[in-house]
Structure 1
Amino acid sequence: MSNQVAQQYDKRPRMKEHGAVKRKNPGTNISKYISYLFLIVLCIIWIIPVIFGITTSFRSQSEVVSSGFRLFPKEWIFDNYVSILENTSTAPILRWLMNSLFIATMHTLLVVVVISITGYGYSRMKFKGRDTLFFTLLGISFFPGVVNLIPSYKIIDALGWVNTAWAMIIPGLAGMGNIFLVRQFMNGIPKDLDESAHVDGAGHFRIYFSIIMPLIKPVLIVCALFSFTGSWNDFLWPVIVFTDVDKMPVTAGLLLLQDIYGNYRMIGQLMGSAVLAIIPTLLLFLFAQKYFVQSINLNSGIKG
């Protein structure tokens, strides 16, 4: 019997000593190289203006006016940043940065609370017209934001919030885009957990705080990042609701700087102010980029 097994073993096709050679489709490699080349070209197109803007903030005014396109300055100077930080009367850039930090932080914290509770209601609670209401609001959210500028300003003015931080903190808390992400993420969590908690006597708030909240942490972090960057980079709305220089966020302040520095062609100071404005969001993305990757799968909470 052992001889027959040995003979059958010898008749089997043997692998090469160094493993089987698997041929790859040449077309796959070509398409991969083309994709890489395309991404590299897009990266270069995007990053060159950014680098040029940053390096312009380290150029002297004479070099900015006289020289043509040069990616790096002939002489690196820091006078532009010194002038920016010393100007605390007409262009208090540090105060604007602190205003933006306060507004974006408060807005983000309230967004996390609102969208998590709202997403729980649309995903786990049953009431008449739930899906109809959700998809109706989702469809309305696709209208351009400029349509609501005048009604929103009328409401803010009636509440006495013009030239206050509340004018930027409160509007947009219940963004349907964030609620949609949270709802879809919650739908990936088995409802058996809810039913078991109900059997043990837990109510909706206990289930929300003790079971759902820890599981949806990745998507909440991503929504928080989106909300923070959106609030920090918002330009049109703060220009409308802020007229007091000391209370402006940094985006509205940059528009004011175009009148202050642009009339005198102080391009270096203007670019330096823009660089200071992007540093917080750049650092935020660098430290939190892994959460963007985790949020790609909306059903990554728990697999049933």
Structure 2
Amino acid sequence: MRRKQKNIIIVTLAVLIAILFLLPLVWMVFTSFKTLSESMSSSAILPKVWTLQNYVDIFSPTSDAPILLWVFNTAVITAVGTILVVVIDILAAYSLARLNVPGKNIIIGIIIMALTIPGIVTLFPAFYIFKSFNLLDTFIPLILPYTASTMGVFLIYNFLVSFPKDLEEAAYLDGASQMQILRHVIFPAIKPVAVTLGVITFMGIYNDYLWPSLVINSNEMKTLTLGIATLIQGSNFVNPAGMMAATMVATIPAIVVFLVANKYFVKSVTNSGIK
């Protein structure tokens, strides 16, 4: 009986905490459908008059905020950056775990030390490097720095170290090449870990504000996060409904990606606990 009561209390607390976390999201959704005057004067969550005008305004060709262009820029940067990180990290981790790489222990030690360095420390050196090559305000500085992901290499390397080599040895006996083994044996095994890394990388690139704010100046090259952040400096500063509509547009892709990849998070955690 006590155990049942304890479970009820835990579930109740979890629901209350979940509601607290969801309230800002609920407020954002409903505010995006309010009129300008109501969003500034009413504290009610539900709008008295529902309208889609805020979405019409932000997607209008005459709008000062080119949302569709920012969405395109963000899609290119996150897609290319995430793919590069996953591919590079898998190849690097596989090389360290399975191949006779000279100085392997030193490289692994450097990777571990790199994990302890705060990312903000590298911002200004990276900025001046891209500036010296006249690459500011382009896609290159928005993509290239993310590919130096030591966390992904370390994560996949640790998984491969504990992964049995029997299947690989059997594939070698059947005449499979190194790349065939990597593609048909290793990748299916590390797929949950790779997808988890991909989602973490996607979220990191998608939500990043500080680095794009340093390397991007023109309105046409802004990412969605940077573009929406600059809206508060313009006329939309006094338009909460318009701001929430723009924020909704930025939030939906992240939610969709997380929901689609959620099962791989569970598999990754489960696999990491089974030895």
TM-score by length of 1: 0.82
Q: What does residue 163 of structure 1 align with?
A: 137
For the residues of structure 2 that align with 1:300 and 1:166, how far apart are their CA atoms?
Answer: 38
Cα displacement string for residues 166-201 of structure 1 (whole angstroms, at most 9, x for unaligned residues)? 111111213122222212322342123333444566
For these two proteins, the number of residue pairs brought into alignment is 275
Deviation at residue 107 of structure 1 after TM alignment: 0.8
Match for residue 84 of structure 2 among 110, 119, 128 = 110
Worse-superposed segment, 267-276 or 31-40: 31-40
1:185–1:298 contact (8 Å) kept in structure 2: no
For the residues of structure 2 that align with 1:299 and 1:268, how far apart are their CA atoms?
Answer: 44
- Aligned pair 1:221/2:209, yes or no? no
TM-score by length of 2: 0.90
Q: What does residue 55 of structure 1 align with?
A: 30
Q: What does residue 7 of structure 1 align with?
A: none
Deviation at residue 122 of structure 1 after TM alignment: 2.4
- Aligned pair 1:28/2:33, yes or no? no
- Aligned pair 1:185/2:159, yes or no? yes
Q: What does residue 254 of structure 2 align with?
A: 281
Deviation at residue 244 of structure 1 after TM alignment: 1.0
For the residues of structure 2 that align with 1:153 and 1:270, how far apart are their CA atoms?
Answer: 30
Report SS of the residue matched to 1:181. helix
What code does the residue aligned with 2:92 have?
Answer: T
Q: What does residue 296 of structure 1 align with?
A: 269
What code does the residue aligned with 2:141 have?
Answer: A
What code does the residue aligned with 1:30 have?
Answer: Q
Report SS of the residue matched to 2:233. helix
What code does the residue aligned with 1:244 have?
Answer: S
For the residues of structure 1 that align with 2:184 and 2:49, how far apart are their CA atoms?
Answer: 58
- Aligned pair 1:70/2:48, yes or no? no
For the residues of structure 1 that align with 2:202 and 2:143, how far apart are their CA atoms?
Answer: 11
1:239–1:252 contact (8 Å) kept in structure 2: yes
For the residues of structure 2 that align with 1:63 and 1:240, how far apart are their CA atoms?
Answer: 36
Q: Which has the larger share of helix?
A: 2
- Aligned pair 1:147/2:109, yes or no? no
Match for residue 119 of structure 1 among 86, 93, 96 = 93
Structure 1: gaps of 5 or more residues: 1-25
The 3 A distance-change label for structure 1 pair 201 and 66 is closer
Deviation at residue 257 of structure 1 after TM alignment: 0.8
Deviation at residue 135 of structure 1 after TM alignment: 3.8
Cα displacement string for residues 273-295 of structure 1 (whole angstroms, at most 9, x for unaligned residues)? 11101111111222222111111
Q: What does residue 185 of structure 2 align with?
A: 211
What code does the residue aligned with 1:138 have?
Answer: I
The 3 A distance-change label for structure 1 pair 36 and 139 is farther
For the residues of structure 2 that align with 1:98 and 1:88, how far apart are their CA atoms?
Answer: 18
Report SS of the residue matched to 2:147. coil
2:86–2:152 contact (8 Å) kept in structure 1: no
